[in-house]
Amino acid sequence: MAYFLALASAALYGAADFLGGLASRRASTISIVIISQVTGLPPLLLMLLLLPASPSAPDFLWGAAAGVAGSVGVGLLYRGLAVGTMSVVAPTTAVCAVILPVLVEAFRGERLPRPTVAGIALAIVAIVLVSRPGPPGPGAAAAPDAPERRLRSSLLPPGMGLALMSGIAIGLFFLSLARTSPMAGLWPLLASRTVSFVLFGIIALAGSRSLRMPGAVLATAVACGVVDMLANALYVFATHHGSLSVVVTLSSLYPASTVVLARVVVGERLSRVQMGGIVCALVAVTLIVG
């Protein structure tokens, strides 16, 4: 049951990331994150009322830590999805997010099985492959001269740097929530969401950012917040009833739904090399499960 919950959380995380990235292309990333954080609270409060729990002070502290890490991770991810290719940014983030908890477990004395080691190696290959420039769009300009072409090929594609940093932050988010006790229920998520909302609220006020956006974008941001909170709830339940390394890895399969939605809804184009990188990323996550 725990692993089914983890896979369900992956599907919802991927859908939430797609919605957040899509909305961030038409409005400020900060505004989208704030709206999504707020709209995720009502379903969380409802679940808190329906599911009794006995949280302790450390549970709230770990939830707050998850809020800080999650804020950084989500902000960077949505921005990366907005400026880069979703089908490339999402798998890169997932690979980084899953490697970090596995390495932490190894540092704490857990012996890594051979499939996990192979998965980490394949993950590095995946990052290299998806980092290659993709095919030009329909309106691309004429090919540049050789020096300019060499300069462009040496640079990371848009969103890759953000994806790498986001993956590290999301990995810390996963680790923090996993440290909460089963008796805490979903209360650590309340601490996490409160900290996240306060942080982004301060950023918005400091930058005098407006939260106004078109109705369609607002609806997308609201849907993103609700779906993301449901994914978080499923992940927390999964960590309390299954192996952390397996649950984290299965939850990190979320790029699959992001890639499918980006292909179907947005019609993103990928080169064969990038497609190979995405396949490697998904295989790597599966191997890390062991």
Structure tokens at 15: 């859908």
pLDDT tens digits along 87-127: 778 888 888 888 888 788 778 776 777 887 788 788 778 87
Asked if residue 147 belongs to a domain, the reply is: no
C-beta separation of 284 from 38 below 8 A = no
In a domain, 175, yes or no: yes
Residue 196 inside a domain? The answer is yes
pTM: 0.79
| Domain count of the fold of the chain | 1
Task: Report d(CA 227, CA 213) in Å as an integer.
Answer: 20
| DSSP string across 68-112 | HHHHHHHHHHHHHHHHS-HHHHHHHHHHHHHHHHHHHHHHTTPPP
Report if residue 142 sits inside a domain: no
d(CA 204, CA 14): 26
pLDDT tens-digit profile, the chain (290 residues): 777 898 899 899 989 989 988 898 888 888 888 899 899 999 999 999 888 888 999 999 999 999 999 889 988 988 888 888 887 788 888 888 888 887 887 787 767 778 877 887 887 788 777 766 555 544 444 444 444 444 444 466 778 888 889 999 999 998 998 889 989 989 999 999 999 888 888 888 887 777 788 889 999 999 999 999 999 999 999 988 877 777 887 887 787 788 788 878 888 777 788 788 888 888 887 787 66
CB atoms near residue 91 (< 10 Å):
33
**20 located within any domain:** yes
Distance from C-alpha of 57 to C-alpha of 273, rounded to nearest angstrom: 48
Distance CA 123, CA 286 (A): 10
Has residue 141 been placed in a domain?
Answer: no
Radius of gyration of the chain (CA): 19
Could you tell me the residue range of the domain that residue 44 belongs to? 2-133+158-289
- Is 66 inside a domain boundary? yes
The H-or-E segment that residue 141 falls in is none
Calpha distance 20→222 (Å, rounded): 9
- Distances from the Cα of 243 to the Cαs of 1, 137, 164, 272, in angstroms? 12, 43, 25, 35
The answer to the question of residue 173 being in a domain is yes
